[in-house]
Amino acid sequence: MIARAETALKTHDLCDHCLGRLFARVDTGTTNAERGRKMRAAVPDGTGDPVPPRMCWLCEDLFDSLERFADAAMDKLGTVEYDTFLIGTKVDPLVQDREERLWAEVGGDKAEPIKAEFNREIGKIVEARTGKSAEFHSPDVVAVVDTRFGHIELDVAPIFIYGRYRKYSREIPQTRWPCRMCQGKGCKRCEGTGKMYQNSVQEIIGDVLIKEAEGADHFFHGMGREDIDARMLGTGRPFVIEISEPRKRHLDLEGLTASINEHGAGLADFSGLRPSTREEVRQIKAATPDKEYLAEVRPHGKVNKGRVDEVVQSLSQARITQQTPTRVAHRRADLARQRAIHDLQLMEFSEDRFLLRLRTESGTYVKEFVSGDNGRTVPSFSAALGVPCEVTALDVLQVIDNSNEG
């Protein structure tokens, strides 16, 4: 180690930081500057001064500016709400080239890159002065210090909010739906709005949250979705909404629920809002809950109750095969999927309209189970009855996820 320090100091003027950093992995529990001071003292005379040089060849005394960078980082961090942070640095490529040259000359296997020391040392100052904690895994905000210009850029982590929604309207989709003609730019067809539908479950809650959080955009992650013309009832469907670049991250979700529900009056409402995580988004997207439906069915032909009762009985535990319905073929692969009907009951009957209550496996296409979808779903209610039937109204009565499995 001493020999290595000696070689380094013979060829270059190095500050204590840059000298000590060559040996950062030898021991822990001290700083590079302290390590550098000790190394300099241990190198035999004739190789250089016991005092650091006027100007470090490697970093050009960048470490003298630590306080200034920390101040600038704190100023910028003060523009957003955060509990945890991380400092990142952009270092002049010339400085990094010199560091690599030094490693090549004297050996860099015990060394630490200058960026790592910068991040840590600025982080320590910011921690001490703000009382907030530096965190490596998922900080609320990363402040990137450009050491050439002293610029600070913030990378603010999104916030995630979990909840359940109910949808009472048969005319709004779950998520924001850009116009197909103009992809959201605004055109004749969408009357300049850029949207296929003027409102959605996502926008009802997202518009309020984005304003409150002073965020940039929102993204909706639902545990599946229902058709636009289907209502979502019961205790609602779980979702996580993500707000990007929020300046505020501590929201009064209980208080906000009231204004969100006012905003969605008659269309949708929300409950159980609480902070969530990216991990929960993953779980929600991967979940495959059973669902309960109420389907209003119209037969296109003469039926009687006895016959309908028989068909309900025969299909109440059916295993069905569904070829991807033509109506969703544009967004799903054309495959045959096996699905289970767990329960089927006749709730109301008249000759031109009856109600079916179903419990089905996740991913079952209920409309197609009833209609048969021109033979693409087998068996089907229509085929078993021998009379074509169609679903004229569909409600999701319950999404049976873990939280309400009882």
**Binding residue for Zn ion (CB under 5 A) from 182, 196, 355, 387?**
182
> Least distance in Å: CB of 56 to Zn ion?
3
Nearer to Zn ion, 118 or 354 (CB): 118
Per-residue mark of binding to Zn ion, 49-88 (x: CB under 5 A):
-------x-xx-----------------------------
Catalytic one of 71, 92, 146, 227 = 227
Check residue 399 for interaction with Zn ion (CB under 5 A).
no
**Binding residue for Zn ion (CB under 5 A) from 5, 8, 9, 15?**
15
Check residue 5 for interaction with Zn ion (CB under 5 A).
no
Three-state SS letters, the chain: CHHHHHHHHHHCCCCHHHHHHCCCCCCCCCCHHHHHHHHHHHCCCCCCCCCCCCCCCCCCCHHHHHHHHHHHHHHHHCCCCCCEEEEEEECCHHHHHHHHHHHHHHCCCCCCCHHHHHHHHHHHHHHHHHCCEECCCCCCEEEEEECCCCEEEEEECCEEEEEEEEECCCCCCCCCCECCCCCCCCCCCCCCCCECCCCCHHHHHHHHHHHHHCCCEEEEEECCCCCCCEEEEEEEEEEEEEEECCCCCCCCHHHHHHHHHHHCCCCEEEEEEEEECHHHHHHHHHCCCEEEEEEEEEECCCCCHHHHHHHHHHHCCCEEEEECCHHHCCCCCCCEEEEEEEEEEEEEEECCEEEEEEEECCCCCHHHHHHCHHHCEECCHHHHHCCCEEEEEEEEEEEECHHHCC
**Binding residue for Zn ion (CB under 5 A) from 134, 154, 181, 393?**
181
Nearer to Zn ion, 52 or 224 (CB): 52
> Least distance in Å: CB of 136 to Zn ion?
25
Check residue 19 for interaction with Zn ion (CB under 5 A).
no
Check residue 187 for interaction with Zn ion (CB under 5 A).
yes
Nearer to Zn ion, 18 or 253 (CB): 18
Check residue 9 for interaction with Zn ion (CB under 5 A).
no
Name the one range near Zn ion by CB under 5 A: 184-192, 234-242, 251-259, 378-386. 184-192
Name the one range near Zn ion by CB under 5 A: 82-90, 189-197, 253-261, 337-345. 189-197
The answer to whether 227 is a known catalytic residue is yes
Per-residue mark of binding to Zn ion, 230-269 (x: CB under 5 A):
----------------------------------------
**Binding residue for Zn ion (CB under 5 A) from 126, 152, 156, 179?**
179
> Least distance in Å: CB of 179 to Zn ion?
3
Number of residues lying near Zn ion (CB under 5 A): 11
Q: Widest CA span of the chain, in angstroms?
A: 109
**Residues noted as catalytic:** 227
Point out which residues bind Zn ion (CB under 5 A): 15, 18, 56, 58-59, 179, 181-182, 187, 189-190
